[in-house]
Structure 1
Amino acid sequence: MTLLQILQEFISICVQDPMLHKEDIWHTYVDYEICLHTNSMCFRKKTSCVRRRYSEFVWLRHCLGQNALIIELPKLPSWNPFFSLRNVGQVSQRMDGLQEFLEIVLQTPLLLSDSRLHLFLQSDLNITKIEKCARGKTRYTVAEAIQRSNLDYHHRFEDKGSSEERNKDSLK
């Protein structure tokens, strides 16, 4: 790899599109879309989008802390028991904090070697399956899990686009 290639390497991360999910009358949670775009050799996919909730970020930080005892990990935004999706300020502040957390993590070479980070950012596996996959306890590898993730999402997006094109054509 040349110096020019190293200087041009980038990892762009965006936390956006908060969504409220109601599990039942008492339990609701918010998740966020995490979009990654990179040309870094560290990543299997160059673009990906996944949805994660705050508690999953807490889990990720804990995992990274186990592997990186010698470095100071960035902080997550504070947990707020009164967090409300309807409070635009709270939502924006949390998204900014989650994005800042990921940006700092992605600038730390030692952390980039953690397969759980890659699965968190580029697979649609839940936390339990991420742990199993990272430990080699699944029938699929980390690379396979990442490669297969969001295939349905991409196909739905492509199908939606093509059906919209067909609808436009039929209106002519």
Structure 2
Amino acid sequence: MENKMKDGKKTNSMCFTKKTSCVRRRYKEFAWLRQRLQDNAVLISLPEIPPKITFLSTSNAKVLEQRRQGLQEFLEKVLQSNILLSDSRLHLFLQTQLCTTEIEACVSGLTDYTVSDAVHRHATSSQRFPVEEV
């Protein structure tokens, strides 16, 4: 399942480089983000994401819309936490098209670009970045 806001999501938060973002993310990427945020902020109770639905039929628009809304609510709650807003993974998740492997490589310093570089480059290009092998 992919989740995409039709016109992008806007922010006036000074925490974000780009003021409008529109990215496609799969359910498993939301699950990954929630786990990484929880790993880095162990004292915070993160909101849940909607449960994974096995054998989901893409023809069931109501179920898909409910799950999309649940993922949107998850993000809205996450964005209310100043501690979570400091996590680079969240910024890359929301403001770039990088996959989770590329996000991890970037925040771990295994790329030739910084988090800021990735966000700025994404603003002008949808090009993927190479990951350096260790």
TM value normalised by structure 1 = 0.69
Gaps of 5+ in 2: 127-134
In structure 2, the residue matched to 1:104 is 77
1:73 CA displacement: 0.5
Superposition misfits of 4+ residues, deviation over 2 angstroms: 150-153
Deviations 1:76-116 (A, max 9, x none): 00001021221011111101100000000000111000000
Deviation at 1:151, TM superposition (A): 2.6
The counterpart of 1:126, out of the listed 99, 102, 123, is 99
Question: Is 1:40 the counterpart of 2:13 in the alignment?
Answer: yes
2:132 aligned residue: none
CA distance in structure 2 between the aligned counterparts of 1:147 and 1:120, rounded to whole angstroms? 14
Aligned residue for 1:110, secondary structure, equals helix
Q: Could you tell me which runs of 5 or more consecutive residues in structure 1 were left unpaired when the two chains were aligned.
A: 1-29, 154-172
8 Å Cα contact 1:60-1:117 kept in structure 2 = yes
1:113 aligns with 2:86: yes
Corresponding residue for residue 66 of structure 1 = 39
Matches of 2:39 and 2:11, distance apart in 1? 26
Q: Cα deviations across residues 20-72 of structure 1 (Å, max 9, x unaligned)? A: xxxxxxxxxx2111533112110011111111000000000000001111111
Larger RCO (alpha carbons 8 Å, 6+ apart): 2
Task: Among all aligned residue pairs of Structure 1 and Structure 2, give the percentage whose two residues are the same amino acid.
Answer: 54
Q: 2:57 aligns with which of 84, 107, 116?
A: 84
Larger Rg computed on CA atoms:
1
- Write the distance in 1 (CA, Å) between the matches of 2:45 and 2:125: 37
Residue in structure 2 matching 1:151, options 120, 124, 129: 124
Q: Is the 8 A contact 1:45 1:122 kept in 2?
A: yes
Whether the 8 Å contact between 1:43 and 1:118 is mirrored in structure 2 is yes
Contact 1:124 1:150 in 2 (8 A): no
**Contact 1:31–1:53, Cα closer than 8 Å, also in 2:** yes
- Deviation, structure 1 residue 125: 0.7
Give the drift of 1:150: 4.9
Contact 1:36 1:121 in 2 (8 A): no
TM-score (norm 2): 0.88
Shift of the 114–82 alpha-carbon distance from structure 1 to 2, 3 Å rule, reads same
The structure where strand makes up a greater share of residues is 1
CA RMSD of aligned residues (A): 1.2
